[in-house]
Amino acid sequence: MSKVAAIIERCQALYEDLDFKAVQEWKNAAPKRKVVGYMPVYVPREIAHAAGILSVGILGGGDQLEVIQGDAYYQSYICRIPRSTIELGLTGKLDGFDGMLFPSICDVIRNLSGMWQILFKDKYVRYFDVPQNYEDNIGGTYYVHELEILRDDLAKLAGVEITNEKINRSIEVFNENRRVIRELYAYRAAKPWQAPTTEIYLLQRAGMVLPVEEHTQLLRDYLAATEAEPRQMRDNARVVINGTFCEQPPLNLIKSIEMAGCYVVDDDFMLVTRWLLDDVPSDGDALDNLSKAFLHHSASTSAKYETKREEKGQFLLQQVTERRAEGVVFACPSFCDPALLERPMLQDVLSAHGVPHTAFKYAENTGQMAPIREQAGTFADSIKLWSAA
Amino acid sequence: MTTPATAAMPASSKKPQVQKEDAMWLQKELINRNYQELATAHERGKKISATFVPGNLNELLMCFDFARSLPETNQLQNGMRKKSGKFIMDAERDGQSEDVCTYVKSDLGMMLNGQVGPTGDPLPRPDLLLLSYTGCFTFMKWFELIRQKFGGETVMLHVPYQGDGKINPNMRDYVVKQLKETVIPALEKVSGVKFDIDRLRQYMRESAKAEEDLVAVLQSAKNRPSPIDGYFGGVYYIGPIFTAFRGTPDASKFYGMLRSEIEQRVRDGKGPITPDGEMTSERYRLVVEGPPNWTSFRDFWKMFYEDGAVVVTSTYAKVGGLYDFGFRHDPDRPLESLAEYCMGCYTNLNLPQRIDMICKYIEEYQADGLLINSIKSCNSFSAGQLLILREVEKRTGKPAAFIETDLVDPRYFSAANVKNRLESYFQMIEQKRAAQH
Ligand code: SF4
pLDDT at B16: 43
pTM for the whole structure? 0.96
CA distance A353 to A285: 41
pLDDT at B10: 45
pLDDT at B26: 84
pLDDT at B436: 82
First-residue to last-residue Cα distance in chain A: 42
Q: Of all atoms in ligand 1, which is nearest to the CA of residue A335?
A: 3
B89 touching chain A per CB within 8 A: no
pLDDT in tens, B7-19: 444 444 444 455 5
The CB density around residue A164, as the number of other CB atoms within 10 Å, is: 14
Confidence category of residue B1, pLDDT binned at 50, 70, 90: very low
pLDDT in tens, B411-437: 999 999 999 999 999 999 999 999 887
Atom 3, ligand 1: residue with shortest CA distance: A336
pLDDT at B2: 43
Query: Pick from B133, B163, B379: which is nearest to A108 by CB?
Result: B379
Which of B351, B391, B394 would best serve as a mutation to test chain A binding (most A beta carbons within 10 A)?
B351
The DSSP annotation for B288-306 comes to EESPPPSTTHHHHHHHHHT
Which of A81, A115, A116, A135 would best serve as a mutation to test chain B binding (most B beta carbons within 10 A)?
A115
Question: Which of B350, B355, B349, B383 minimizes the C-alpha distance to B370?
Answer: B355
Query: For residue A333, what is the nearest residue in chain B, using CA coordinates?
Result: B99
Pocket of ligand 1, beta carbon within 6 A: A 79, 81-82, 105-106, 108-109, 246-247, 333, 336-339
Residue A340, domain member (yes or no): no
- Tell me the average pLDDT across A297-308: 96
pLDDT at B21: 62
Q: Which residues pair with B49 in a beta bridge?
A: B68, B128
B144 touching chain A per CB within 8 A: yes
Residue A43 has pLDDT above 50, yes or no: yes
Tell me the average pLDDT of chain B: 94
Residue B254, domain member (yes or no): yes
By percentage, how much of chain B surpasses pLDDT 90? 91
Residue B24, domain member (yes or no): no
pLDDT in tens, B316-369: 999 999 999 999 999 999 999 999 999 999 999 999 999 999 999 999 999 999
Atom 8, ligand 1: residue with shortest CA distance: A106
DSSP 8-state secondary structure symbol assigned to residue A276: B
Residue A226 has pLDDT above 70, yes or no: yes
Query: Pick from A118, A141, A306: which is nearest to B391 by CB?
Result: A118
Contacts of A333 (CB under 8 A, 6+ apart): A79, A80, A81, A243, A244, A246, A247, A339, A361, A362, A363, A364
B148 touching chain A per CB within 8 A: yes
Measure B420 CA to ligand 1 centroid, in angstroms: 32
B332, B53 in Cβ contact below 8 A?
A: no
8 Å CB contact of B387 and A106: no
Measure B138 CA to ligand 1 centroid, in angstroms: 12
pLDDT in tens, B79-123: 999 999 999 999 999 999 999 999 999 999 999 999 899 999 999
- Tally of structural domains, chain B: 1
Query: For residue B144, what is the nearest residue in chain A, using CA coordinates?
Result: A309
Residue A309, domain member (yes or no): no
Residue B4 has pLDDT above 50, yes or no: no
3-state secondary structure of A240: strand
Q: Give me the sign of the Cα torsion angle A198, A202, A203, A207.
A: positive
Query: Pick from B137, B178, B383: which is nearest to A138 by CB?
Result: B178
Which ipTM did the prediction report? 0.97
Select from A102, A247, A248 the residue to mutate for testing ligand 1; criterion: most ligand atoms less than 8 Å from CB: A247
The DSSP annotation for B149-202 comes to HH--EEEEEE----TTSS--HHHHHHHHHHIIIIIHHHHHHHH-----HHHHHH
Q: Buried b / exposed e across B294-303, counting CB within 10 Å, b at 16+?
A: bbbbbebbbb
Residue B22, domain member (yes or no): no
B179 touching chain A per CB within 8 A: no
pLDDT in tens, A354-377: 999 999 999 999 999 999 999 999
Confidence category of residue B133, pLDDT binned at 50, 70, 90: confident
CA distance B288 to B398: 13
Residue A145, domain member (yes or no): yes
CATH number at residue A139: 3.40.50.11890
8 Å CB contact of B144 and A113: no
8 Å CB contact of B141 and A133: no
- Tally of structural domains, chain A: 1
Question: Which of A307, A294, A303, A274 minimizes the C-alpha distance to A144?
Answer: A294
pLDDT in tens, A47-78: 999 999 999 999 999 999 999 999 999 999 99
Q: Which residues pair with A103 in a beta bridge?
A: A128
CA distance A195 to A230: 10
Residue A354, domain member (yes or no): no
Chain A contacts in chain B segment 353-372 (CB below 8 A): 353-355
Residue A23 has pLDDT above 60, yes or no: yes
The CB density around residue B95, as the number of other CB atoms within 10 Å, is: 13
Query: For residue B351, what is the nearest residue in chain A, using CA coordinates?
Result: A114
Residue B22 has pLDDT above 80, yes or no: no
Residue B278, domain member (yes or no): yes
Give the helix/strand (H/E) hosting B130.
strand B128-133
The residue range of the domain holding B298 is 30-436
pLDDT at A386: 79
Residue A110: list chain B partners with CB under 8 A: 137, 161, 163, 380
pLDDT in tens, B182-240: 999 999 999 999 999 999 999 999 999 999 999 999 999 999 999 999 999 999 999 99
pLDDT at B19: 52
Residue A330, domain member (yes or no): no
Q: Buried b / exposed e across A1-29, counting CB within 10 Å, b at 16+?
A: eeebeebbebbbebbeeeebebbeebbee
Could you tell me the CA-to-CA distances from B174 to A81, A144, A245 in Å, in that order?
31, 11, 28
8 Å CB contact of B97 and A361: yes
Residue A362, domain member (yes or no): no
Residue A147, domain member (yes or no): yes
Select from A58, A59, A108, A110 the residue to mutate for testing ligand 1; criterion: most ligand atoms less than 8 Å from CB: A108
Residue B20, domain member (yes or no): no
pLDDT at B115: 85
- Tell me the average pLDDT across A244-265: 98
3-state secondary structure of A93: coil
> Which parts of B113-150 fold into alpha helices (H)?
138-150
Contacts of B117 (CB under 8 A, 6+ apart): B35, B38, B39, B74, B77, B110, B123
The residue range of the domain holding A120 is 26-166
A221, A7 in Cβ contact below 8 A?
A: yes
Chain A contacts in chain B segment 210-269 (CB below 8 A): none
Residue A135, domain member (yes or no): yes
- Tell me the average pLDDT across A134-140: 98
8 Å CB contact of B379 and A337: yes
pLDDT at A389: 63
